Amino acid sequence: MMCMRCGGGCAGPPVTWTSTRTARPSWGRAPGAAIAAGLALYLRDHDEPLPSLLLLHAPILDDRHTTSSSHAVTDPRTWNRAASQAGWAQYLGHGNALVTPVPPYAAPARASHLSGLPPTFFSLGDLELARDEVLDYAARLARAEVPVELHLYPGATHGFDVTVPTAAVSRASRAAQTDALVRALHGAWRE
């Protein structure tokens, strides 16, 4: 068994990853997706075992807020630009003393080299603040020959599966995520 800590210079407690040599899926939702994707980058860069699948649901991967969708979502009823900027400031540092430069282990969309990462599954709404950054990251992974599965749900905002768990779109998202995890646990992603 191997354990590692990867803080990347970020505020708050570091993530601890415990691994055996058996690949297992890794899952992250919203800001947790940045941690999961950053951990996959770290593991790849340090020649450690990678997850069999990286499942990113409603991922938030980029601190820069430069995309069209990151400017479009301002409604306070959902994850919006102001909340995202405040969240990234807390995650990356205290007040104005942000970590610079921001490491890709903290904000995975900043990574320039994406080859060698595990198969990655994305699930998100098309009205999400992070939609464009996720679509860009998924396309960059695919260009790097990383297997990618992308589910973009029309009319869905950030947290749709929590706010309306019985809606058809929420059930479809959970079913797709479950199917991806089952395939990862049975080695179907490697075929």
Token code pair at residue 31 = 């800001």
CA 32 to centroid of chain Cα atoms: 7
Label residue 186 by pLDDT band (50, 70, 90).
confident
> What does the DSSP 8-state code read for residue 172?
H
pTM of the model: 0.86
Q: Is the pLDDT of residue 146 over 70?
A: yes
Spatial contact of 73 and 127, defined as CB atoms under 8 Å apart = yes
